Structure 1
Amino acid sequence: MKHVLLLALALAACQEEVAQNTDPLPLNPETVGHFCQMNLLEHEGPKGQVHLEGLPGTPLFFSQVSDTVAYLRLPEQSHPILAIWVADMGAPGATWADPGADNWIDARTASYVVGAAIEGGMGAPEVVPFADPAAAEAFAARHGGNIMGLDAIPDSAVLAPVTETAEGDGDYGRRLEALSDRAGG
């Protein structure tokens, strides 16, 4: 009996763990952004998704690729990152208004246009991913910007505050400063 129990324990310890599926999931009407909690299909521009260890089938989706990159650089992450996918803006049929629901590429191998004169889904500057470097070059020729890999994207391109405010609210900065003054004493 003792040998049977030891054999059962040994077999249980030797079982292979099933690998977590990190294939990209298509966007659908229920897909919401991790930061904004808004439906991604209602926003223009490329999107991103991040698969985390221990959260199978439920990647974090982002309404902008710049938000995806910012998430990767935040120290508050609770789970190891297994896969990062971004929408290929050079895919057939991809447009800014409709970037596609399932044209995902590995974020680590994409070519990004950084600093282009174009806004992402939340109205902030966007980094624009392409599977084909030639497509990135053509986009940069039309919209400006520099082409680089994921690790070369500067923090200032994804973590800096947006200076323009919604609806051109020129009074926003003054009101924010007044609130900061009150909070500080």
Structure 2
Amino acid sequence: MKIPPLVAHTLVLLLAAGLLAACGQNNGASAVTPKDTAQDTYCALDGMLLADYPGPKAQIHYAGQPEPEFFCDTSEMFSLLLKPEQARMVTIAYVQDMDKADWAAPKGAWIDAKAAFYVVGSKKRGAMGPTLPSFGTREGAQKFAAAEGGKVHPYAEITPDMARLDGGALHDQRM
């Protein structure tokens, strides 16, 4: 069976377009791996040393920037990523899976921030006070919430109000 030239040409173009689209969906994220923190790793937002504080940390990898920016708290990461004026191209963001990291001195256990589950409103405190503990599984987050309070949310449900850096001080009527 002979394929007409116009049909063959169209099939080749469709195949090429499909391959190009698949390449574009990657955005290079798979080539970007999380970096581990050191004793002197500081927070890009406030300059605090990450090793001095408990709770989940975060890192954002920006396009065209060889090293990530680290954050001493997941709330700081969200406060940047959820701002409408955030214009820098984010390649990928990582947070720590607190099922696998020690709360008092978390190291490693990095997971894709968009794949993580977060606990909003727990009584457990991080570097900036109220924090959004991150987990690799919904079950891990639910177990934490049962012990420490709060509600489990996937990344897509986190809002700027959930990631406030003032710890609620702006609405504290006792001040």
Q: Does the CA contact (< 8 Å) of 1:113 and 1:148 recur in 2?
A: yes
Deviation string 1:19-55 (CA, Å, 9 cap, x unpaired) is 6852100010221101111210111100000000110
Q: Does the CA contact (< 8 Å) of 1:113 and 1:147 recur in 2?
A: yes
Are 1:115 and 2:121 an aligned pair?
yes
CA RMSD of aligned residues (A): 1.9
Are 1:24 and 2:31 an aligned pair?
no
User: Runs of 5+ in structure 2 lacking a partner?
Assistant: 1-27
Shift of 1:133: 1.7
- Identity score, percent: 33
Aligned ranges 1:35-74 → 2 under 5 Å: 35-56=45-66, 58-74=67-83
Structure-2 residue corresponding to 1:105: 111
Partner of 1:108, secondary structure, is helix
Deviation string 1:46-87 (CA, Å, 9 cap, x unpaired) is 00000001101x111100011111110123434200001001
Q: TM-score, normalised by structure 2?
A: 0.75
Q: Does the CA contact (< 8 Å) of 2:125 and 2:131 recur in 1?
A: yes
Are 1:135 and 2:145 an aligned pair?
no
User: Runs of 5+ in structure 1 lacking a partner?
Assistant: 1-18, 174-185
Structure-2 residue corresponding to 1:75: 84
Distance in structure 2 (CA, Å) of the matches to 1:22 and 1:82: 8
Deviation string 1:101-145 (CA, Å, 9 cap, x unpaired) is x2100000111111111221122x111111122111110000111
Quick one: structure 1 residues 160 and 24, their matched pair in 2 at CA, closer, same or farther if it must change by over 3 Å? closer
Q: Does the CA contact (< 8 Å) of 1:54 and 1:79 recur in 2?
A: no
Amino acid at match of 2:114: R
Q: Does the CA contact (< 8 Å) of 2:128 and 2:165 recur in 1?
A: no
Number of residue pairs matched? Answer: 144
Q: TM-score, normalised by structure 1?
A: 0.72
Partner of 1:83, secondary structure, is strand
